[in-house]
Amino acid sequence: MAPSLPALFSLEGRTAVVTGGTRGIGAHMAISLAEAGADIVLIQRDESNTTTKTAIEALGRTATIITCDLSSASSVAAVTPKILASHDPSILLNCAGIQRRHPAALFPDADWDLVLQTNLSTVFTLCRDIGTHMLTRPGPQRGNIINIASLLSFQGGLTVPAYAAAKGGVAQLTKALSNEWAGKGVNVNAVAPGYIATEMNDALIADEARAASILARIPAGRWGKPEDFGGVVVWLAGGASA
């Protein structure tokens, strides 16, 4: 018998690993996964920000913080064994990201390396390592990976070449992993937000001329909000998207 419609969107009994869950889109997505029934492992730089953890626990779900510096390759390589020591994740949400703005002719190597490590290499490492675990889980639906790409995966943007390159890489990485793993029970998808009113875009919002030009190109007539992403992440994490 086919699952009922509510069951297709239920995440009861599942564990989700979330990066970037302390604020913005990532925080709302993490809480939405918990609202659908998942327990959450929050990957954070430190344990000082407990806002999302507290919100998840208020829903009656378990929230665990595991610390990791996502800009450090060695720290990222060490985090999956810590997760698997006490959790069986079947959902991975890669939402963490940073931004550095400079004219391309003046873009520093150090900022390029930092953005590419945090926004692309870390995404690959976590997909590979947690995805490898998912492939060992009982089927047929072994796991769901959701990567946060960007409008700039497809449009280059202005003064953000490292961010655009990294997010373009996330889009192609998602396709490559999906090609390999979809037939093995691990679904890999990406969400590509446009212009969202979060802290990362404060500089754009403060630039009245640039903000007006952006708004003029948005059919909805408004900037996006973190709340816009709850439904899609629950859908992509569950059986409804299989």
- pLDDT tens figures, 46-87: 999 999 999 999 999 999 999 999 999 999 999 999 999 999
Q: What's the rounded Cα separation, in Å, for the pair 105 and 237?
A: 40
Q: What's the rounded Cα separation, in Å, for the pair 90 and 185?
A: 11
C-beta of residue 190 within 8 angstroms of C-beta of residue 148? yes
**Mean of the per-residue pLDDT values of the chain:** 96
Whether the pLDDT of residue 40 is over 70: the answer is yes
pLDDT tens by residue, 156-209: 999 999 999 999 999 999 999 999 999 999 999 999 999 888 887 888 888 888
Does this model's pTM top 0.85? My answer is: yes
179: part of which helix (H) or strand (E)? helix 161-181
C-beta of residue 76 within 8 angstroms of C-beta of residue 68? yes
Q: What's the rounded Cα separation, in Å, for the pair 230 and 166?
A: 24
| Catalytic pick among 22, 38, 118, 163 | 163
Q: How many beta carbons lie within 10 A of that of residue 209, not counting itself? A: 7
Q: Are strands 91-94 and 63-67 parallel, antiparallel or unpaired?
A: unpaired
pLDDT at 4: 86
C-beta of residue 149 within 8 angstroms of C-beta of residue 192? yes
Q: What's the rounded Cα separation, in Å, for the pair 30 and 10?
A: 14
How far does the chain reach from its first CA to its final CA, in angstroms?
Answer: 16
C-beta of residue 214 within 8 angstroms of C-beta of residue 228? no
* Whether CATH 3.40.50.720 fits 5-237: yes
- Candidate from 97-101, 113-117, 204-208 with smallest mean pLDDT: 204-208
Q: Mean pLDDT across the stretch 222-236? A: 95
Q: Is 195 one of the catalytic residues?
A: no
CA 239 to the chain's CA centroid: 19
Q: Which of 11, 9, 13, 31 is nearest to 22 (CA)?
A: 31
Confidence of residue 6 (pLDDT cuts 50, 70, 90): confident
Encoded amino acid at 41, one letter: V
Q: What's the rounded Cα separation, in Å, for the pair 83 and 86?
A: 6
C-beta of residue 18 within 8 angstroms of C-beta of residue 40? yes
Q: What's the rounded Cα separation, in Å, for the pair 198 and 224?
A: 9
pLDDT at 7: 87
